[in-house]
Chains A and B, each alone.
Chain A
Amino acid sequence: MKKITHLLLFFLCCSIGLIHAQTKQIKGIVTAREDGLSIPGVSVIVKGTTIGTITQINGAYTLGVPADANTLVFSFVGMETQEIDMDGRTEINVVLETESIGMDEVVVTAYGSKGKVGLRGAISTVSAEELEQVPVATFDQMLQGKAAGLHITTGSGQPGSGNTKVRIRGNGSIMASNDPLYVVDGVPIEPGVFASLNANDFENVAVLKDASSTAIYGSRASNGVVLITTKRGKKGDTKVNYRHQSGLSFKTREKFDMMNTAEKLWFEEIAQKGPGWEFSPLNPLYSTLSPDARSAQDAELARLRGIDTNWQDHIFRTGKTMSNEINMSGGNEKTRFYLSYQNYYQEGLSDRSDINRNTGRLNLDHQVSDKIKLGVITSIGQSKINAIESEGGIALNNPFAAVYLANPWENPYDENGNLNPGSYKYNNPYLSEEENKRYAAYNNTGANVLDLMSNSTRKKEETKFVGAFNISWDILPYLTAKSQYGIDYRHSLYERWVSPDAWASISAGEGDAHRDGSISEDFERRIESTFANTLDFKKMFGDRHLLSAVLGSEYVKRDYFGFGYTGYGLEPKLPETPAAITPGTDTNDYIASVNGYKAERAMFSLFSLFNYTYNERYTLSASLRRDGSSAFGENNKYGIFYSLGLTYDITREEFMASLEWLNNLKFRISYGTNGNQAGLGHYEHLTLWQNSSYATQPGYSLAQTGDPNIKWEVANKFNVGFDFNVLANRLNGTIDFYNDITSDLFISQTFSAWDGVIGNSKTTNAGKVLNRGIELMLNYDLIRMNDLRWSIGTTLSYNKNEILDLGQVNEFELGTSIVREGLPIGTHYLVRWAGVNPATGDAMYYTANGAITNKYSADDNVADFGTSEPPFYGGFNTSLSYKGFELNADFAFANGFSRFNNQRFFQENPNFAQFNQSTAMLDVWRQPGDLTEIPGVHSQREFSSKDIEDASYLRFRNLTLAYNFSKPILNRLKVIKGLRLYAQGQNLFTWTKWTGFDPEDSNNIAQYEYPTPRTVSIGLDVNF
């Protein structure tokens, strides 16, 4: 055994374990069976905690352990980990055996039997403790700030929303998906659909970033891979764990104010729009009124002045959150199980917005013989979601738009206290019908939303099953065959019902199918089944050559199916059921519409992964995968992906032994290729025909021109990095540099009209994007005393994104952004704002040449306002524990990006003065000499750089205070083995200049998205 320093699995360092009151000292010596020599650097840890130490140069250790601790874990690279029950002893000497099969420290495995062939490369893991009991419904949101190179933003605060953007090392694709591949226990699952999964069931989540770790996933892995391993039972007594959490969600304070009634009526007078102007004595029509008509109109204005509705009181609410979970695990020599059930309920910030979810899981492992093992994982979840109207839309039905745009002088209720939908129009009793036409009608924006919310539903019911059955057979000690069939099944039912009593129905005209309400049901089913077969090999040749390899095949099949209908003419006494539909006839306009689709897609792959370690120092990893997909063109049916990586364990070199402060130093370098086929339509390679008709005859018309060359996007990834532990493992970290170039991007290409391509344009493989960056993960134990521990950690990522090539063109516009060679994805493209001309009140703009003009032209758009994708982001955290107390704080930040605040276009715009306006408009230019940023009401509002705001932010994401009851107290309670009480706050504070709702949004533009709530919760975990 060489004199070498040790390694500590880094997840143990950054995880936050249970800390117990410490009462006794344990000491001992660790030696090796092989040569009887002592081993320095062995990690000694109290099981289930972060309390631990490392053996000295003579193999000796001393460790203070909590009185309630039972087990110590001794681990060392290349040796079999041992767990030793203390049984009240104070001296424990341990003899470690050389790991019988090999010497990898296995963190993550892809395919293959656990423990045999590990993935190498740039991998971040997030442990169970970091994912448990975070009060959000979807696990991807929980990963925010947890790993370097991973940037996650949430587009909606709707409970259960799938609108979360997950990016690993930036955006590699322009038009196709940038979502990573998600794999649960070897079963690939649908990205973005996590509302029906319980993250408390996850043992760990590994984020694979470089080619070395992802190439084995071939044509689906260019955006990185998220590997999820769920919890399994361990032999021993059955453990029962009950968890409860209750909380409240609050709206965070927006950074703008809307006008009150006095302000709004004042502004209407200036904008010459709205009742404030119609009833104004300054209105030229005023002088034409008779004294009676005048005083009636004055009285109406006074009545409006008397109303000052704060719409936030009517639309926002405090949401309640509650979850209850019970899980059990245990087993014997032959069979082990993990069983869990959870109910999760969360209310959103508005009425009619919640999720109610039930999930269950059973993971079973059974040893048929000493060679053959069976495993089953099953997880089923059903979530019922109530959603708001027009979520994230610039629409008056969206309550988060209406709450700001409804006029303060609008009364939600009429004199009788009933909701007051429809519109407001003044009728002057002293004017004729014709004369009364001078008064315009104004939508009751607020009441209409309240009416629709109470007289309609928008429901989603999602049922998801993720399961797998596997069998593995140890054919030889060094060879295992494994076969797994897995399935990711989801069906979703969307129900949309509008009551015949809703104002929207009542106000629909004769002949409008919607006049007596409507109900739609849309069903969607997606099944992805995977059949994977692998052979794992691992053998030591001589005492220096360790070889491991996986050889496998995988068949993935996806089936899509959906159908739906919309029916009309609803019976009012039969709410929310299709039974209420009146059958359509030629005359009643109630003819129901139906729709549906079916599609399928398949992939067949062969793959291999190969690791060779020489003398425990150098590991060469290589992988090769061949993917065939039904979506690829005939000429490119199969894609080959590969990677090569080298890991060098420098600390194992003898010349490093003298560096006592250096506990571990590992160097990694890798290069390889991945693909992305997510943007490719199922049948894009085929020429397709559809029905048509001409002069009453049926015909077949061309529907699609196939491209036999269409294929995957290709990512070429280079990564170099170091992992290190220094200062007796007080400081550990990882630093990575990467250079990823994605090419053959799906880009729309224009064709000659003679080519017969539909619309003369079609997706083709062209274009190239670079992501180059650096990532740093650091953890430092500031205090490592027996009772008191304090650590801090950070993840920092910098990513430079640049479009290198767009094929046929150099640039194209995409909404308010431009896709241009040489610029990053998400670059804003608008006319530069030049302020307000004090003499005229005109909005001023810069031309593309830099001259100031009052003529707005989209031809003057420039790309000078940065990008909506942050180049610099990360998080930091600290955890402090004293005896049974734990205090954890989590921060996240993103820097150097900007977003387009489209909301301002509506609430700072005199053209929309029939709706409420921001108080920013009180500074409106009124006369020559006024110095202001708000142009006069005569000046047309345009999209310009005025609405681009720096969206950099720092967010206090989570604060948790917990207390773990100590063993002596629990012993008195007999049955309870562990008890933890905690309180936590989520999304507590955000420092930003951004004036929209939430700077951390999933897109480039703010459009009244559902804001992310602030959540405060308390909970307990009890172990029996």
Chain B
Amino acid sequence: MKQLKINILSSIIATALLSGACSLDLEPIDEISDNKAFETVEDLEKGMTGVMTEFGSHNIVGMSDWASDDLRYSLANTGQGVQVHNWTYNSSTGDLAGTWNEQATLVDRANRIMAIAARFDQEDKTVQRVIAETKVTRAYGHFNIVRMYCKNYSANDPLGIPYKFESGISSPSRLTQGEVYQNIIADINAAIPELSIMREGNYWITQSTAYALKARVAQYMQDWDMAITAANEAIDLGGYRLATRDEYRDVWDDAIANNVEVIFRLRRENSGIGNYYTRATNGDIFFHPSYDLMNQYTYDDIRGLTFFGLDEKGQDVVTKHDGRPNDKTNVNDVKVFRVSELVLIKAEAYAQKAQLDKVADELNYLRNHRLVSPDALEFTNQQEAIQAVRDERRRELAYEGHRFYDLKRWALGIERLTEDSETTSRTLEAGDYRFVFPVPQSEIFANKNMVQNDGYSN
């Protein structure tokens, strides 16, 4: 009897204590947990598609324009970009945190998908392609931050940026610029063989995208041979060509054939770059195009005719990113890499290498697609060629996130015209510390290893 009691007792205790012990791993019902989300290669592709949604607002474009000599402050401006335009920014300037936060997030998302892809069959072509796409994405995200928050390329400059190879909580330190560029190039090189040559709509990362990025990186490193090779690969692989003068407006209306002009663009449905210049809801102008920039174009230049317009009150307004026809105002796809940028990279490379005929060839090729029967250029000295490339680059790539970083690259200052700076700052000397944007205060606060750029108090 006693034994029976003990038996019953112990079984009661055992049942009681162990019941439900293993039921604590509850999966969410309304969202997908990490291990359930990625079960098939198709899921992995969806993960990469998710990464494509994280490329961000391309704040890098807006900051370049606000800070450069391509815009003129509008009276209707209620504070948009005023600190950036007047170079009165500091580490708390919210606008300047945009790229840092968005592109670091992009790097993180790419790293997450890369880690997830490692769980799949590494021989699978799609898996290999997704991994390659994440690598290019990662390189792209890092490079955007370098462009804004670092000085001109110098391998030993200790104030590079962190390079994240995997997702996770850490307090990453700044590497030397050399290390950062090395990692960027390594990621691109590793990715290229596995990428698609061409994908529908240029909305996805292809070999041409990777080479275009490589060309741009090489330009920043002043590795002119690498720049020329990569630019040629980018154009040739996808069979890309420049848009003609007649096609040029269609480029900005997002109505252009697959192999014309645009190598890589980001699909945008709800918000676009146009909001850096005007308010979508009521057309209020934050910034007009500067007289300085408008003066750069001849009357027959399709670019001036496409980039500038007048609003209903007759005021000058930037129309480059003002939206697709019959669609939302200020919403366009973000054109990340275009053939003309690669042509200009080559031109700049040849100019630096003093191959003056080749400079002329590249520039004439471009100008023939933009002007009505332009005179062919010829150069007699290197300085002339360099200047011509710079002018052409300003005209072609205005409002695409290059001007301010180009001026920094070329070690030039900013001198706004008097009529472009009646109520705003006029001059930023060449080499001023403010050509390098401050690391956001939130990053300094949260990351104990983060070092601020020179000239900024914290």
Seen from chain A, the residues whose Cβ lies within 8 Å of a Cβ on chain B are 475-476, 481, 483, 531, 533-535, 551-553, 555, 557, 597-604, 606, 628-630, 637, 682-683, 686-690, 692-695, 697-704, 706, 750-757, 760, 808
Contacts and interface: CB of A to CB of B under 8 A. Distances in A.
B20 interface: yes
A752 B450 contact: yes
Most interface-central of A598, A637, A700, A757 (chain B CB within 10 A): A700
A760 B50 CA distance: 19
B267 A694 contact: yes
Sorted nearest first, the 7 A-B pairs with minimum C-beta distance are A756-B108, A699-B49, A533-B16, A555-B20, A753-B104, A699-B50, A752-B447
Contact of A755 (B5, B168, B201, B204): B168
B450 A688 contact: no
Chain A interface main SS type: strand
Most interface-central of A534, A599, A698, A702 (chain B CB within 10 A): A702
Nearest to B18: A553
Contacts of B26: 600-602, 630, 682-683
Given A700-B32, A706-B34, A756 B12 contact: no
A703 B31 contact: yes
Interface residues of B, number: 63
A481 B12 contact: yes
A598 B27 CA distance: 11
B427 interface: no
Contact of B23 (A483, A602, A697, A698): A602
B250 interface: no
B67 to A, nearest CB: 21
A949 to B, nearest CB: 35
Given A699-B53, A753-B440, 19 more contacts: A475-B8, A533-B16, A533-B19, A551-B13, A553-B16, A553-B17, A598-B29, A628-B24, A630-B24, A683-B33, A688-B28, A688-B32, A690-B32, A692-B50, A700-B38, A700-B49, A750-B445, A755-B168, A808-B446
Nearest to B33: A686
Most interface-central of A689, A694, A701, A753 (chain B CB within 10 A): A753
Contacts of A602: 20, 23-24, 26
Contacts of A601: 26
A760 B171 CA distance: 13
A706 B53 CA distance: 20
A127 B267 CA distance: 68
Contact of B105 (A555, A603, A753): A753
Nearest to A687: B34
B53 A629 contact: no
Given A701-B53, A701-B54, A752-B447, A481 B9 contact: yes
A531 B20 contact: yes
Given A700-B43, A760-B442, A755 B108 contact: yes
Interface string B147-171: 0000000000000001010011111
Contact of B34 (A552, A557, A688, A753): A688
Contact of A599 (B9, B16, B29, B171): B29
A601 B24 CA distance: 8
A692 B47 CA distance: 9
Given A604-B23, A756-B108, A756-B109, A701 B50 contact: yes
A376 B201 CA distance: 68
A682 B31 CA distance: 12
A601 to B, nearest CB: 7
Interface in B161-192: 162, 164, 167-172
Contacts of A694: 49-50, 52-53, 203, 267
Given A692-B49, A695-B203, A750 B446 contact: yes
Nearest to A632: B24
A760 B43 CA distance: 26
A753 B24 contact: no
A535 B13 contact: yes
B77 interface: no
A601 B27 CA distance: 9
A122 to B, nearest CB: 30
Nearest to B34: A687
Contacts of A754: 104, 107-108, 162, 164, 170, 172, 447
A529 to B, nearest CB: 11
A699 B49 CA distance: 5
B18 to A, nearest CB: 8
Contacts of A531: 19-20
B24 A629 contact: yes
A690 B31 contact: yes
Most interface-central of A475, A602, A606, A689 (chain B CB within 10 A): A689
A286 B421 CA distance: 46
Interface string B95-135: 00000110011011101100000000000000000000000
Contacts of B8: 475
B37 interface: yes
A932 B31 CA distance: 59
Contacts of A552: 16
B194 interface: no
Contact of A686 (B34, B47, B170, B446): B34
10 contacts: A535-B13, A628-B21, A688-B33, A688-B34, A694-B50, A695-B52, A695-B201, A695-B267, A700-B43, A756-B107
A445 B37 CA distance: 52
Contact of A688 (B31, B101, B203, B446): B31
Contacts of A688: 28, 31-34
Most interface-central of A481, A601, A688, A706 (chain B CB within 10 A): A688
A851 B359 CA distance: 66
Most interface-central of B38, B111, B446, B450 (chain A CB within 10 A): B446
B443 interface: yes
A761 to B, nearest CB: 9
B394 interface: no
Contact of B47 (A481, A533, A699, A808): A699
Given A602-B26, A628-B24, A682-B26, A702 B109 contact: yes
B31 A683 contact: yes
B25 interface: yes
Contacts of A692: 49-50, 53
B46 interface: yes
A808 B442 CA distance: 12
Contacts of B23: 555, 557, 602, 604, 630
A698 B46 contact: yes
Contacts of B442: 750, 753, 760
Given A481-B9, A754-B172, A604 B49 contact: no
Contacts of A557: 20, 23
A706 B51 CA distance: 18
B217 to A, nearest CB: 20
A376 to B, nearest CB: 20
Nearest to A809: B445
B327 interface: no
A686 B13 CA distance: 33
A597 B203 CA distance: 34
A756 B167 contact: yes
A760 B31 contact: no
A752 B446 contact: yes
A754 B108 CA distance: 7
Given A483-B16, A555-B23, A702 B50 contact: yes
A463 B53 CA distance: 44
Contact of B172 (A604, A699, A752, A808): A752
A704 B28 CA distance: 12
Nearest to B449: A752
B37 to A, nearest CB: 4
Contacts of A603: 24
Contacts of B112: 702, 756
B29 A600 contact: yes
Contacts of A753: 100-101, 104-105, 440, 442-443
B400 to A, nearest CB: 20
Given A602-B20, A754-B164, A687 B29 contact: no
